[in-house]
Amino acid sequence: MTQGLFINGARPKSKKAVKEAVRDNPGSVSVEGTSMFGGDYDGPLTGAPNGRIDFVGPDPYRARNFYGNLTVKDGQIKVT
């Protein structure tokens, strides 16, 4: 399931914007759980558990213009 993202409370305009935000200020990025069954991480990216978060943007409900994933391992975050 793909999740949504917010950067400083707003939807990101592009995957490049996500990469820049994660690089410059990962605390500004928050993850939105979208599964109606639960189980998705929902909260600030800096508090995410180790693992992979698949995202879509700018809006997972209305505009799926770009996709990617965030890999979190021991506090290090990689965007692909």
How many CB atoms are closer than 10 A to CB 22? Answer: 18
Can you list the residues of the chain whose pLDDT is less than 50? none
pLDDT for the residue numbered 39: 87
pLDDT, one tens digit per residue, over 66-79 is 999 999 999 899 99
Alpha-carbon radius of gyration of the chain: 11
pLDDT for the residue numbered 71: 97
* Separation CA 17–CA 22 (nearest Å): 9
Q: How far apart are the first and last CA of the chain?
A: 16
pTM, full prediction: 0.92
Q: Is 38 helix (H, G, I), strand (E, B) or coil?
A: coil
pLDDT for the residue numbered 21: 98
pLDDT for the residue numbered 75: 87
Alpha helices in the chain (DSSP H): 15-24
